[in-house]
Structure 1
């Protein structure tokens, strides 16, 4: 397996952290990524020992380039000088394609061109304030250790349909008065009784029946209708108590007793001729 090591030096820790985050999102594992801070904006860190840092960086580049490299001395010198004033991100890959991918990601987050930066250090043309302003314009506030997201938009040009207007047609029913004058005929039967005084003959003594019907015309309207609504009809039953008053007829019998004539006895006294009630029934 062709293992490759990709090195990127950044002016700030924030850039290095953002690059690491992007690498992990692209499939690189955290164990394959090393981040070491030695300085920022071309200045060595004041809280670290320069000699120890230089020795560590020098050993690192010795392991990377090897003694048999014809340009070994220059690369080691350039790498040590530039790396000691920034943050180094090392990515270990297992192939050239992944190495190229890692290098592209490091470049997107502002990895330093070490040869060009070394020349600026040598001729004293590097300005930390100018460098800071340039990075802030490109990546935002790079002097924080927070994450800086670098966004790249992919533009896809296509087409889509949009609604720019429309027409809605609705139908509804309205009532239109219809009026027409028609003549209607109505028949009435009238019975007139006229007093007469004439002799009657045989023809007058027979039964007669005269029938005459009354008719009338009425207006008729014919319509064709469709059901547009259903109405449920129900009945509510109530009970009530009502007193009915009426009269009933029946026959009553009144019994009146009659005293009758006075009867004389043999001794000359009188008595009443009285009948029992049973005899009157």
Structure 2
């Protein structure tokens, strides 16, 4: 599978290329075509050149013509080929995230400026001629046209889900009971005879006060893991539209006698 995307700027296209390489898309699968237009004459010449240069890409001629027009207007075409189903969705997300041009909207803008699209291009006429059809019918004739309904598929974005992790500090408090030790001087009145050797001896007493202080430590534990998983399912959708075809009515106002006379003459 392959996917192509048009970018307005070289920087947008290059950012997409860089992200594709990070996503382990091989460089050999990535092709970047850049356009540049200086004058109206160069634009016409480059339009044909871009059309020819995109001939090896597997895409409908209508898309090829639109991309060639985008290149002739200075756009940048990024094509990623050889994708499996696993990487296809990831590549679409990357291209969509880096400012891909909405080709339908861009074509509508070009048509408002006078661009005719692939239908009036010389390449469409050449293709019709190569298929054995004349671009300009000769003589008087009524073309009989039959429309058929072709229903295709295209991938469109319906929004995305992003997960962002960041740190939040929340005030917390906890009460702890702390113990304090105090040293008090105790004086006790006494009345007794002094013992000379004992009571006159030098002495030193000391006691140390203690108090408990709160010590804070933290432990971080992973309590949950959050990720994204993509699932897919299929659905059936009935597409209803109208198709047109040409009805031809023949009014034959010739008399029966006249027809019989001509038949006899022919015999």
Q: TM-score, normalised by structure 1?
A: 0.45
Higher share of residues assigned strand: 1
TM-score w.r.t. length of structure 2: 0.47
Pick the structure with greater CA Rg.
1
